[in-house]
Amino acid sequence: MVVATSPAMTLARDADGNLANRADWTKEIAVQLAMEEGITELTDRHWLVITYMKEQFEAKGDAPSIRKLTKESGVETKELYALFPKGPAKKAAKIAGLPKPKGCI
């Protein structure tokens, strides 16, 4: 059995498993959070979405929904699901160190 030793595991989390404090987020932590979601490598396309999520959160106080992501991030739905399998909005928010988007109930 592999014992996880990533620093991200020691950080405070909310009920959804997302970072409790946005200030804890770094690019290195993002890589570890991605691993938790089964994403082994963060490409430029991943970072495009993650950066967009962070900007939207700063501006609006909520992470964007999948519909908004498709409309405004410049990445098509199909590719979003390839980058962040199963739940692009939810997973990208987690990796960006943000709480789960309110739209995802």
Partner 1 sequence: MKKLVILGAGTAGTMMLNKLSNVLDKNEWQITIVDQHETHYYQPGFLFIPFGIYQRKDVVKPKRDFFPTGANVVMSEIDRIEPEKNQVILKNNVVLPYDYLIIATGAQIRPEEVEGMKNGQWHKSIFDFYTVEGACALADFFKHWEGGKLVVHVTEMPIKCPVAPLEFAFLADSYFTERGMRDKVDITFVTPLPGAFTKPRASSILGDFLNKKNIHLTSEFNIARVDNEAKRIVSWDEVEVPFDVLVTIPTNMGDPAIQRSGLGDELNFVPTDKNTLVAEGQKNIFVIGDATNLPSSKAGSVAHFEADILLENFMSVVEGRAPSQKFDGHANCFIESGFGKGILIDFNYDTEPLPGKFPLPGVGPFSLLEETKMNHYGKVMFRWMYWNFLLKGQELPVESNMTMAGKRM
Cα radius of gyration (the chain): 13
Q: Is 8 a catalytic residue?
A: no
Residue with Cβ nearer partner 1 (23 or 105): 105
Residue with Cβ nearer partner 1 (74 or 81): 81
Q: Which helix (H) or strand (E) holds 35?
A: helix 27-36
CA 2/CA 30 separation, integer angstroms: 20
Please identify which of the residues 4, 9, 20, 104 carries the catalytic annotation.
104
Residue type, 94: K
| Binding residues for partner 1 (CB under 8 A) | 65-68, 71, 77-78, 80-82, 85-87, 102-105
Active site residues: 104
